[in-house]
Chains A and B, each alone.
Chain A
Amino acid sequence: MFEASELNLKNQRVQKLYRLLFLMMTMLLIIPVLLILGTLVIKGGPVLSIDFLFTSPTDGMTAGGLFPALLGTIWLVAVALLVSVPLGIAAAIYLSEYAGDNWFTRIINLAIINLAGVPSIVHALFGVGAFVLYFGFGTSIIAASLTLAIMTLPVVIVATRESLQAVPYAFREACWNMGATRWQAIHRVVLPNAISGILTGVILEVSRTSGETAPIMFTGAVFFTPFLPQGIFDQTMAMSLHLFVVSTQVPNVPENLPYGVALVLIGMVLLMNSISIAFRTYLRGKKKW
C-alpha cells in the first residue's frame, strides 16, 4: 500500500538535491562572515585592552588607543538620533495614522523611498553645502550628525510605520467608536503596542549610523585632533574614519592596530544588534493578541 513508486522515489531524490543546494548556498553566505570575524579576532585581538579603549593615539597614530574616536562616534550617533528619532517617528505617525491616500502623501512616500536610495557620498556633499557652509556650523559634530540624521530618517520612518501598521485597524476603530479622537487612539492603544517595533528599528539604526564614513568625513569628523569634543560645535574623531586613516593614510602603522580598531567598531555594532534582538525576543514573548 505504501510502497514507493518510481515517481515517488524520483521526487524524493530531487527534493534531497534541492535541499542540499539551498543548504550549500546558505553555507556560502556564512563563510565570509566567519572569515571576517575570525581574521579580526585573530589579528586584532592581541591589541585589545582597557588601555586601547581608553587612551588617545600616540606616536603619529602608530600606537596608543582609540578613545577620542570611540567617544566621537558616540557623540555623532547620539546627536543624530536626537534629531532623526523624534522627527522620523512624528512623520511616520502622520503618514500612517493621519494622512489620507492622496497625491500629497504619495509624493512624500516617494520622497522617502528616494531619500533611502541616495548614496551616502551625496548625502555628505549635501551636508557640506547645507550644514557646514549655508548654516555656518563649520565642520562640527552638529553638521555631521545632521547629515547622518537625514540619511537615516527613511529607515526610522519605515520601521516606525511598519510597527504602527502591524497594530490591527480594528483596535483603532474600537477606540473611535467610543468617541476617542485619533490622538487618543494613538496614544492609548496604537503606540503602546507599536513601541517595541519602533525601538527595535531605532537600535538597528544606531548600529548602521555608527559605521558610516562618507557622510561624516567632510562634515565633522577629522583625521586627528588632540582634543576630546566638548560640545556639538567641536570637531571630533570617529571610529569609522579612524579605521580608514590608520589603514591607508598613516605610514608605519603596526599591522595589528587597524584590525583592533575594526574589531572594536564591529563589536560595537554587534553589541547594539544583540541588544536589539534580545529586546525583540523579550517583547515577542509577551504577545498581546
Chain B
Amino acid sequence: MVTAAQPAQTTPAAGADPGAVKLAVKDLTIRYGKSVALSNVSLEIREHEIFGIIGPANAGKTSFLKSINRMDMFNSNMHVEGEILFNDRDVRHLKNVYALRSRIGVVFPLPVGLPMTIYDNVALAPRLSGLNNKAELDVIVERCLTRAALWDEVKDRLSSLGSLLSGGQQQRLTIARALSQEPEVLMLDEFSIAVDPVTTMRIEDVLKELKHEMTIILVTNLVQQARRLASRTAFFLNGECVEIGNTEDLFTGEVKDTRTRDYVEGRFG
C-alpha cells in the first residue's frame, strides 16, 4: 500500500462523527503491590469500533483489560485506581460485577477449551445465566459456532471434548463461547499467539463482521494486526499510554511521540 496517506485522511473524517462512548477510562492506575503496571491512562472507546492496543511485553495491556471487567477482584495484590465508565456507569463501584462480566466477552492469549463437550463449552454462559431450554441452547450454539467460523469443522462432533481440539480450533471455540454471552464488548488479548496464520486471518475476518454488532478491544503485539483491524489504536509502553490516535496516523508517522514511530517501525519491541 503505497498510498498510505489516503486512509489517514479519511479516518479523521470518520472520527468527526464518533459513535457513542462505550467505555471511558479516566486516570486509571494499576499497581501490583508496589510496582506500577499502568499509570494515569485516560481514553475513550466508542461503540462499534475496533480499538487496538499495541505495545511490547510489560506495557500493562493485559492489566488494562483485567481492570475493565473487574478481574482485580481475584487478585488481592492488584490495586486499581481511577474511573472506568461502562455505558456511563462506574464499574469500580459496581455491586453486581457478574452482570458486568457477562456483558464483556474475553478471549485469552492461550486458548482455553474447557474440559467439557464443544456443545457445553458454548452453552455454558447461557446456562450460567439460567437458560436451560434445549431448543434455545441448540440455536445459540449453532449461531455462535458459525459466527466464530468453527461450525463446519465441529458440527458432526459437538459431543467431543472442547479441550482436545487443536489450538486454532480451541481459540475459535473460545470466541464462540464469548459470543454466547451476547456481549456488548469483546476483549481479545493477543489472541493469535498460539494460532496458525490461516486461522488468524479467519478470526480477523470474523472480527471485522462482529464490529457491526459490538465494540471490540483488540490487544495485540502484532502492530500489523492492529493496522488491519483497528480504527483507532493506543500505544502502551512500560505502563504508560504513550499515544492514542487513528490507527493510520500511527503508521504514517503522524505521531506526537517519537517512541510510537520507533515501535511501529520495529526499532524496538
Please give the distance in Å from A79's CB to the nearest CB on chain B.
Answer: 35
Asked if A178 and B177 sit within 8 Å, CB to CB, the answer is: yes
Q: Contact between B115 and A289 (Cβ–Cβ < 8 Å)? A: yes
Q: Which residue of A lies closest to B100 (CB)?
A: A179
A172's closest neighbor in chain B, by CB?
B74
- B8 interfacial by beta-carbon distance below 8 Å: no
A107 to B102, CA, bound (A): 36
Is A129 on the interface with B (CB-CB < 8 A)?
A: no
Within the assembled complex, what's the spacing in Å between the Cα atoms of A171 and B76? 19
Say yes or no: B181 contacts A179, CB within 8 Å. yes
Tell me which residues from 10 to 67 in chain B have a Cβ below 8 Å from any Cβ of chain A: none
Determine if A288 and B163 form an interchain contact, defined as CB atoms under 8 angstroms apart.
Answer: yes
Using known A-B contacts A184-B128, A188-B124, determine if residue A177 contacts B69 with beta carbons closer than 8 Å: yes
B144 to chain A, nearest CB (A): 13
Question: How many residues on the B side are at the interface (Cβ–Cβ under 8 A)?
Answer: 32
What chain B residues lie within 8 Å of A179 (beta carbons)?
Answer: 98-103, 125, 128-129, 181
Q: Does A111 contact B (CB under 8 A)?
A: no
Whether B145 sits at the interface, judged by CB under 8 Å, is no
Q: Which residue of A lies closest to B74 (CB)?
A: A176
Knowing A100-B76, A171-B114, A193-B115 are in contact, say whether A289-B163 is a contact too (CB < 8 A).
Answer: yes
Question: Is A176 a contact of B114 with CB atoms below 8 Å?
Answer: no
The one of A101, A178, A189 that contacts B116, using a Cβ cutoff of 8 Å: A189
**5 tightest CB-CB pairs across the interface, nearest first?**
A179-B102, A288-B115, A289-B163, A179-B101, A177-B106
> Given known contacts A178-B124, A179-B181, what 19 new A-B pairs fall within 8 Å (CB)?
A170-B112, A171-B114, A176-B71, A176-B74, A178-B105, A178-B125, A178-B177, A179-B101, A179-B102, A179-B103, A179-B125, A184-B128, A192-B116, A288-B115, A288-B163, A288-B164, A289-B113, A289-B161, A289-B163
